[in-house]
Structure 1
Amino acid sequence: MTYSAILSLAFVIGMGHALETDHLAAVSNMLAQKGNRRALIARGAFWGLGHTLALFGFCAVVLLLGLTISGRVQAGLEFMVGVMIVALGSQTLWRLHRDRVHIHVHEHGDRKHMHAHSHKGETLPHEETRHDHVHRRTNAKALGVGLVHGVAGSGALLVLTVSATQSLGQALAYFAVFGLGSMAGMAALSAVVSFPLLLAQRGANWLRTGTSAAIGIAALWIGAAIIIENGTAL
């Protein structure tokens, strides 16, 4: 196989890597939060960016220093991912319990849009409460989650890269292309998933609540399974 074919394969494998169960669980909980389609896609892309930076940086350091990742260290990293996914799922469920959420139509200048709106902590009757709001855009959380996933996935990538490349330069290029593939895969997935999630956000309260609850519970299940599986290896 030619090196160009290996890089093409790295991109495809990276896209598939983005769709692994633990990645989907973490990103789905972030996508379940409020936001328009552009914001949801941006969260997926920032997860991919963090994932790529961590994979490239961690794997490059390991190769440059001639180090190895033991099975125990790898299990510890995966255990950390499991804890993070449980935390994300718990946050999603806690937000449902904490927030008094319903649907509103809002105006921004000459534009109207509709989304879930919270009145947590308010004691006044609904008609007397304020409904103005500011759209905050932050992707730091998605970037951080991607960083943790990237470090945890470095062990398997190192084994794959060493077997597929013949020099340090080729290995670094493989890391980069693999990471770009994971960014593209998660951004594309976020774009697709944004359609049903936005419909759920704009639908009846039971639909929005049920969707978020299902995503949170799935995260708890997947995270707990990862913790149990890797906890025995520590």
Structure 2
Amino acid sequence: MDSLLVAAALLGLTHAVEPDHVAGIAALASDASRRRAALVGGCFATGHVVLVLGWVLLGSVVLSRLPATAAFDRFGGLVLGVVLLAVAALTAVAGARRLRGHGSHTHVHARLGLTATDGGRRGVREYLGLGVAGALFTLSPPLSMLALVTALLPTATLGGVLLAVLAYAVGILLAMTVVGAVAGTLFGALEGYGTRLHAGAQFLAAGVLAVIGAGALMGGV
């Protein structure tokens, strides 16, 4: 059982650091303070995990042998492509505004409609919005975890399967939180060297997102 839990956690870690996830979290964390960038990654990961758990339930209980996976995967690819391109555009706009001297730590979030304040504190709406963004990155089924759960069901106990899914979810949460923290630290360090460098990094993140988004769109068509 220990080896299965390790395998599930590693699957979660590798899933979390897929290019589209890293680029998306980095873009969302590009305007966050260093201390709050980890929270961006954590909120994104929470929404992501909720939908992953939904996919695991659907795939292992409802769909049994996953006959509709291809159709769901295509739909998820299309939505993911649109989301990635939208975040790429907003991140590029944030970089352009920063170069013009109008940048702010919450600009990308504000453009996404995620910013809400209450007495100087972040509102619940922003956290929920980041979770929704994370969920939208999960509209394609997590095939590796679904395959593991499907293989475990005939032989493992229900408790064993649930522990494996929990290990997978914890792997995602930890990795995405770290990605957010690292991205925020890097962008914060770049800002210390000047506005142009920070804006250039935002343009780079936007370009990576745009390429990945275009690829997802083409794959879903």
TM-score under structure 2 length normalisation: 0.80
Deviation (angstroms), 1:7: 0.9
**CA distance in 1 between partners of 2:163 and 2:106 (Å):** 45
Choose between structure 1 and 2: higher helix proportion.
2
Query: How has the CA–CA distance of structure 1 residues 206 and 57 changed in structure 2, closer, same or farther, with 3 Å as cutoff?
Result: same
| Aligned pair partner of 2:205 in 215, 227, 231 | 215
| Aligned pair partner of 2:18 in 20, 23, 35 | 20
Deviation (angstroms), 1:135: 5.8
Deviation (angstroms), 1:117: 9.2
Matches within 5 A, 1:53-132: 53-67=50-64, 68=66, 69-98=68-97, 100-101=100-101
Deviation (angstroms), 1:171: 3.0
Q: Which residue of 2 aligns with 1:175?
A: 165
Q: State the identity %.
A: 18
User: Residue type of the partner of 1:6?
Assistant: L
Q: Is the CA contact (8 Å cut-off) linking 2:77 and 2:139 kept in structure 1?
A: no
TM-score under structure 1 length normalisation: 0.76
Query: How has the CA–CA distance of structure 1 residues 212 and 146 changed in structure 2, closer, same or farther, with 3 Å as cutoff?
Result: same
Choose between structure 1 and 2: higher strand proportion.
1
Q: Is the CA contact (8 Å cut-off) linking 1:10 and 1:177 kept in structure 2?
A: yes
Deviation (angstroms), 1:62: 3.2
Q: Which residue of 2 aligns with 1:109?
A: none
Q: Is the CA contact (8 Å cut-off) linking 1:60 and 1:172 kept in structure 2?
A: no
Query: Is residue 186 of structure 2 the alignment partner of residue 196 of structure 1?
Result: yes
Q: Is the CA contact (8 Å cut-off) linking 2:77 and 2:219 kept in structure 1?
A: no
Query: How has the CA–CA distance of structure 1 residues 117 and 13 changed in structure 2, closer, same or farther, with 3 Å as cutoff?
Result: closer
Gapped regions of structure 1 (runs ≥ 5): 104-114, 119-132
Q: Which residue of 1 aligns with 2:36?
A: 39
Deviation (angstroms), 1:38: 2.2
**CA distance in 2 between partners of 1:143 and 1:216 (Å):** 20
Deviation (angstroms), 1:191: 2.3
Query: Is residue 131 of structure 2 the alignment partner of residue 143 of structure 1?
Result: yes
Deviation (angstroms), 1:44: 0.5
User: Residue type of the partner of 2:101?
Assistant: V
**CA distance in 2 between partners of 1:116 and 1:142 (Å):** 15
Q: Compare CA radii of gyration and give the structure with the larger one.
A: 1
Query: How has the CA–CA distance of structure 1 residues 97 and 12 changed in structure 2, closer, same or farther, with 3 Å as cutoff?
Result: same
How many residue pairs get aligned? The number is 203
Q: Which residue of 1 aligns with 2:176?
A: 186
Query: How has the CA–CA distance of structure 1 residues 142 and 168 changed in structure 2, closer, same or farther, with 3 Å as cutoff?
Result: farther
